[in-house]
Amino acid sequence: MSDENQKEQGIWKCVCRYFSKKETVRETIEDLIEEAGQNEDQSTLSRQEQIFLNNILYLRDKRCRHVMVPRAEIDAFPKDGSIEDLLKLMIEKGHSKIPVYNESLDDIVGMVHLRDVAQALMNGDKKNKVETLINSNVTFISPSMHISDLLSFMQKNKMHLALVVDEYGGVDGLVTIEDLLEEIVGDIQDEYDVDPEPAIIRKDAYTIVADASAELEEIKEKTGIDLCANREEEESSVDTLGGLVCAIAERLPQRGEVIETKDGLQFRVLDVDARRIKKVMIVMKHEAKNSHSVAAN
């Protein structure tokens, strides 16, 4: 019997054994992943297969608000701008599609695709307004929509992009099909992607510099510092470092401002614009370090 046949029979025996316990399919796969992690040398599942299966299992727990590009980071273009200027933006940002708005980002009127821009340039229309190229087929979704449902919807309707709107109809974020696929297979980069600066940098035992968009759980995983510890109720509802700093300050701090907590943490705002914090330095006193430290993974 070939090694491949033995491997297939091994997987089948595992599945049959777990189903004989009358577990659900989800429980069966979870058990297989757990067993594979404990006995990697004898496992019939590769490490990559374990990661894919685990990511797929937890898709149902994630919603669009967890994966969307936040409003402050959306690249959009006014409908009365020129096609030439739109092309410059698309090249600079590396996008093949751009949302187009009327008065503001909350008034999206459609999308423009790179191929339509290229066709217009070939026709000598680079000075024309972008509104002549708009495709009005725009999809708006709720931030609470499950990403598994959105992925199925996008596949069925041959869509690549959707806008997330809040309860008042304002644009809250943007989701692409690439964002959804990355939840399963990990980061997807092409030859035009530039490796970003590390979002979280540990300077020393008491100092961390991080992008304000860094999630608190990610900071905990990478540095062992639990910023969720000892937080007030309104502060515990935020997911990102910038959100935590704003919740503690109860406003948008200014560049260079230091926000200090009761338990000895200092958040120094290194970069901020008119709408959001961009970079923060976290400084811990010795006693604060001890109270926020967790066991490293």
Q: What are 198-251's pLDDT values in tens digits?
A: 688 888 888 999 998 888 888 988 888 888 776 666 556 788 898 899 888 888
pTM exceeds 0.75, yes or no: no
Give the CA dihedral 83, 74, 94, 127, nearest 10 degrees. Answer: 10
Intervals of the chain under pLDDT 70 = 1-30, 32-33, 35-45, 187-198, 230-236, 274, 286-297
Task: Centre a 10 Å sphere on the Cβ of residue 292 and count the other Cβ atoms it contains.
Answer: 22
pLDDT score for 140: 93
Question: Residue 280: its pLDDT value, please?
Answer: 93
CA distances from 180 to 51, 174, 183 (A): 15, 11, 5
The whole-number pLDDT of residue 226 equals: 85
Please provide the average confidence, as pLDDT, over all residues in the chain: 80
> Could you report how far apart the first and last alpha carbons of the chain are, in Å?
41
